């Protein structure tokens, strides 16, 4: 089958790889002019790790493990309070865990796909017509082409979803928090730690990227505004929301690059009753964004792509395959969305009292005794059937 995939991110590249392995003919269009640069770190474990092992790309990933041994919640002077060590995280996850830059994983997936799949960078879909026997796609760069299927793997603000299922507000559940990140020079002789500093309504997180002398600064803040912030306005918005904040914040703000290099988005979950319509299906954040709080978006994107390719292989009929894929994945995503929703309420407390409560709970819960409770919250194991 000829399958057009919109988006060369985690889900799109994983899907392209497995479709090709099953003998199909995927073509990928990616809006960005090249593979993405910079970005943020992801905790990589569970199903995603399992899919990566099945793709034989772990050797390509492990040398780029982020140099972080401890997650620490610090006070205004940088003194750590509650902490989560790598050993405790291992007990919670009870399996391999590999913190990585998101771009490292994308790069490895791109290498794995190799020259076997046509990837058109700087291209997007402009219109979709499902004729019943094929999908006709008009491209933004011009031209029309027919495919057997279209899969939207174009992330939280999916264009495929908008064209086929309807406008984003119909599926988006904004959690009341925005996030932004950018790389900064290490002026602090930083160690192997990811540090979180929180004041009411706002949080700053810093960790090393693994590139010598480079850190990521991540900013989380409560906001009632859920719209896009134009790139040119991002530095000023961060300065206004984080002005007067303690710890390293003034220096991190002073090191902000221009708006073009600042990643900023809302914490929004995408909730859809159905992930497919006719000859079109969605995968990854496009249909089931859980937000960074779940720490499993990458895993579920890879799981969805793997199981979608597998369903298309075993069912042959695309409608049965789409239904089987959704049946396998929808409940898993919904469960993780519910967990993330609960956790988001306490992630950036709005008040001093909430902050005190968060500190107390963190100190109590980040102990070995609670590892099983945290594990069940996380849902950290692989959801894939064992390899035959």
Ligand X SMILES: Cc1cc2nc3c(=O)[nH]c(=O)nc-3n(C[C@H](O)[C@H](O)[C@H](O)COP(=O)(O)OP(=O)(O)OC[C@H]3O[C@@H](n4cnc5c(N)ncnc54)[C@H](O)[C@@H]3O)c2cc1C
Q: Rule CB under 6 A: which residues touch ligand X?
A: 6-12, 29-32, 40, 42-43, 102, 124, 153-155, 159, 179, 181, 284-286, 292, 295-299, 301
Nearer to ligand X, 74 or 179 (CB): 179
CA-based R_g, the chain, Å: 21
Residue 205 vs 253, nearer CB to ligand X: 205
Name the packing angle between helices 318-347 and 297-315 (round to 10°): 170
Structure tokens at 80: 């750590």
Tell the smallest beta-carbon distance from residue 317 to ligand X (Å).
25
Nearer to ligand X, 43 or 310 (CB): 43
- C-beta of 316 vs 338, nearer to ligand X: 338
- For 137-193, the DSSP string reads EEETTS-EEEESEEEE---TT-HHHHHHT--GGGTEEEEEEEEEEEEEE--S---SE
The distance of closest approach from Cβ of residue 157 to ligand X in the complex, given in angstroms and rounded to an integer, is 6
Nearest distance, CB of residue 11 and ligand X, angstroms: 3
Q: What is the C-alpha to C-alpha distance for residues 299 and 100, in angstroms, rounded to an integer?
A: 13
Q: How far is CA 308 from the centre of its chain?
A: 18
For the CB of residue 97, give the shortest distance to ligand X in the complex, in Å. 10
- Minimum distance from residue 49 beta carbon to ligand X (Å): 10
Nearer to ligand X, 332 or 357 (CB): 332
Whether 150 contacts 137, CB under 8 Å: yes
Distance CA 376, CA 365 (A): 13
Q: Shortest approach of ligand X to residue 223 CB, angstroms?
A: 15
Q: Kindly tell me which of 129 and 320 has the beta carbon lying closer to ligand X.
A: 129
End-to-end CA distance of the chain: 24
Give the residue with the Cβ less far from ligand X, 337 or 352. Answer: 337
DSSP bridge pairs for 281: 151, 276
Please identify, using beta-carbon distances, which residue of 9 and 208 lies nearer to ligand X: 9
Count CB atoms within 10 A of the CB of residue 272: 18
Please, which residues have CB within 8 angstroms of residue 226's CB and are 6 or more apart in sequence?
Answer: 172, 174, 266, 268
CB of 137 to ligand X, least distance (A): 11
- Using the Cα atoms of residue 171, residue 36, residue 230 and residue 211 in order, give the sign of their dihedral: positive
Minimum gap (Å) between residue 283 Cβ and ligand X: 7
């Amino acid at each position: 089958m000829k399958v057009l995939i919109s988006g060369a991110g985690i889900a799109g590249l994983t899907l392209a790889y497995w479709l090709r392995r099953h003998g199909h003919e995927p073509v990928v269009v990616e809006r960005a002019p090249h593979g993405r640069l910079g970005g943020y770190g992801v905790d990589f474990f569970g199903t995603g790790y399992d899919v990566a092992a099945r793709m034989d790309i772990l050797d390509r990933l492990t040398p780029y493990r982020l140099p972080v041994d401890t997650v620490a919640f610090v006070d205004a002077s940088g003194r750590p309070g509650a902490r989560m060590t790598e050993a405790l995280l291992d007990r919670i996850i009870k399996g391999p865990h590999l913190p990585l830059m998101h771009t490292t994983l994308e790069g490895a997936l791109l290498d794995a796909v190799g020259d076997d799949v046509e990837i058109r960078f700087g291209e997007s879909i402009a219109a979709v017509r499902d004729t019943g026997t094929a999908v006709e796609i008009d491209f933004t760069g011009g031209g029309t082409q027919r495919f057997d299927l279209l899969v939207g793997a174009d992330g939280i603000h999916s264009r495929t979803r908008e064209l086929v299922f309807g406008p984003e507000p119909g599926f988006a559940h904004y959690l009341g928090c925005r996030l932004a990140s950018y790389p900064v020079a290490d002026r602090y002789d930083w160690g192997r730690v990811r540090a979180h500093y929180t004041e009411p309504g706002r949080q700053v997180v810093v960790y090393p990227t693994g590139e010598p002398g480079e850190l990521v600064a991540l900013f989380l803040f409560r906001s009632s505004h859920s719209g896009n912030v134009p790139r040119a306005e991002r530095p000023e918005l961060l300065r206004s929301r984080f002005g007067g904040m303690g710890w390293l914040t003034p220096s991190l703000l002073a090191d902000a690059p221009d708006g073009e290099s600042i990643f900023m988005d809302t914490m929004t979950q995408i909730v859809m009753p159905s992930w497919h319509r006719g000859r079109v299906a969605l995968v990854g954040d496009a249909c089931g964004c859980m937000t960074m709080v779940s720490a499993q978006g990458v895993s579920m994107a890879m799981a969805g792509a793997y199981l979608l390719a597998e369903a298309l292989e075993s069912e042959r009929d695309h409608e049965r395959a789409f239904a089987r894929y959704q049946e396998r994945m929808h409940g898993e995503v919904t469960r993780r969305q519910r967990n993330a929703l609960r956790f988001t309420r306490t992630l950036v407390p709005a008040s001093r009292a909430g902050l005190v409560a968060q500190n107390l709970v963190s100190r109590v819960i980040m102990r070995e005794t609670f590892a099983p409770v945290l594990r069940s919250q996380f849902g950290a194991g692989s959801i894939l059937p064992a390899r035959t």
